[in-house]
Each structure stands twice: as structure tokens, then as C-alpha cells.
Structure 1
Amino acid sequence: MKGIFQIGIVLAVCLLGEFINIILPLPIPTSVLSMILLFILLLVKIIKIRHIEQFGDFLLKNMAFFFIPAGVAVIKEFDLLKNNLIPFLVICCVSTVVTFLVTAYTVKGVMALQKRMGGTRHE
């Protein structure tokens, strides 16, 4: 029952993100808007971490599953990519390195901030 409740919260936030995206002409994908909305709701403590923790853990453990459609799409459209394979691979490699660096420094910064604030708090 708890799992269904957590899925419902996440789906409700996604539905609200879809609704906001329809009303406001923002050039932001609904999935990104929903993640921002969920972050804000967590930040102002309308939703507590414990309300979505189990479902979030499930999604993180099964993250590889969500890359299958993108991989299939790349294979399906390989004829279009083969003419630009070198630039495509360079862009993939550079963006991967940049993502790793940004993530590493973000984690480092957050850890330093948490250390300065006296540790982490979980509710």
C-alpha cells in the first residue's frame, strides 16, 4: 500500500507538471518541469523524503532499464548517424566528461556545505 501511495505522489507531480506545461508556454520539457516541481515541493517540505523514498530507490536501482528505448532508437536510426559518426562520438565523449566533472564538483560542493552546516538532516 505504501508503494502505491508513493507512486501516486510521483504521478501526481508529473500530472501537475504536464498541466503547468500546457498552461504556461515554457520551452521546458514536461519531465524536467516535473522534476523541478518535485524538488521545490521537497525543499519547502510539502512532500517529505519519506513519502517518495521507496519508489525513488526502486527507480534508481532499475535506472539501466530506462536507457533501453534510447539505445534502440540509436540503433534504429544508425543509417542517419553513420555519415556523422565521428562528430557524434566526439559530442558524446565530451558531454560525458563534462557531465562527470559537473557532477563531481557539485557533490564536492554539497558535501562541503553539509560539513559546514554540521552534518546532514533527514526527516
Structure 2
Amino acid sequence: MSIYAFDRGKGNFTTKYIFQFARILAFCFLGEILHVVLPLPVPASVYGLVLLLAALNFKLVKLDDVKEVGTYLTGIFPLLFVPAAAGVMELWAEMGEMLLPILVAIIPVTVLVMVSAGKTTQALTGRKKKEADNDAAAE
């Protein structure tokens, strides 16, 4: 094994994923710090995601430095909700009394999230299509 095996582009398969995961964890940790320091009601994970987005936009972190692990984590995302769902099932008796207010809160928010995600996706795909059309017209 070379002394340079831990360089960004020269690491082996496992090392590359460990460093990508470490970069993502670093932003999660910075989000935790901001959550403690700032008196805003924003979850630490949101701070971390915003910091990672800003770092990607300002080219402080290259997309290739987090892409594979980010894609993997996005793929297993539903699995990460299983412990939370199991915890809700344990509290079902206590939640039975509050079922109507919970449903009144959850259903409109779910619809709002679905509509906003759909509109955002449509806007982004429309923008990419326009850019592709402009590139094709320029050639």
C-alpha cells in the first residue's frame, strides 16, 4: 500500500467511501454545533444540510467528494424511519386520544409537501430542458 493511498483520488474503494462519509458527518457535526449555539428552532440536521449545500454551491466541496455515499444514503432513507415508526407503535395507546388532531395536522402537511416537491421537480426539470435546448440551438 502506497503512502499516498489516502489521497483524495488515489484511495481504494473502501477508503473513498469512508472519506466521503466522513465529509458528510463533518457537516452533520457542524449542524449540531450551530443548533446548540444559535437560539433558533431549527433542527441540527437542517443546519448541516444547508451548510453542505452552501459548500457545494461555493465549490468548497466537490460533488464527487460526497456523491456515491450521498446516493447510497438517499437509497436507504426509508429504512432509517423504521425505528421512529416502531417508537410510534409503542405509544399507540397514548396517541389514541389525540388521533383526530394528529390526522388534522399530518394530512394537510403531507399534501403540501407532495405538491411543493412536485412543483419544484417540474420547475427544475423544465429549467434543465430549456438549458439543453439552448445548448443544442447554440451548436
Q: Which residue of 1 aligns with 2:31?
A: 17
Q: C-alpha separation between the residues in 1 aligned to 2:107 and 2:32?
A: 32
Q: Which range is displaced more, 16-25 or 32-41?
A: 16-25
Instruction: Tell me the number of residue pairs that the alignment of Structure 1 and Structure 2 aligns.
Output: 119
Q: By how many angstroms is 1:29 displaced?
A: 1.2
Deviations 1:9-37 (A, max 9, x none): 00111112222233332321111100111
Answer 1 or 2: higher relative contact order, Cα 8 Å, separation at least 6.
1
Q: Which residue of 2 aligns with 1:73?
A: 87
Q: Which residue of 2 aligns with 1:102?
A: 116
Q: C-alpha separation between the residues in 2 aligned to 1:5 and 1:89?
A: 42
- After the TM superposition, list the runs of 4 or more consecutive aligned residues in structure 1 that deviate by more than 6 angstroms: none
Deviations 1:31-71 (A, max 9, x none): 11001111111111111111111111111121121111220
Q: C-alpha separation between the residues in 1 aligned to 2:40 and 2:68?
A: 31
User: Over the residues paired in the alignment, what is the CA RMSD in angstroms?
Assistant: 1.6
Paired letter, 1:54: E
Identity %: 30
Which consecutive unaligned segments of at least 5 residues does structure 2 have?
Answer: 1-14, 134-139
Secondary structure of 1:10's match? helix
Q: Which residue of 1 aligns with 2:97?
A: 83
Secondary structure of 1:117's match? helix
Q: C-alpha separation between the residues in 2 aligned to 1:95 and 1:55?
A: 29
Assess, with a 3 A threshold, how the Cα gap between structure 1 residues 89 and 26 changes in structure 2: closer, same or farther.
Answer: closer
Which consecutive unaligned segments of at least 5 residues does structure 1 have?
Answer: none
Q: C-alpha separation between the residues in 1 aligned to 2:35 and 2:56?
A: 20
Q: C-alpha separation between the residues in 2 aligned to 1:98 and 1:117?
A: 28
| 2:70 paired residue among 29, 50, 56 | 56
Q: Which residue of 1 aligns with 2:9?
A: none
TM-score normalised over the length of structure 1: 0.86
Deviations 1:68-94 (A, max 9, x none): 122012112112210121332233222
Q: Which residue of 1 aligns with 2:130?
A: 116
> Which one has the largest radius of gyration?
2
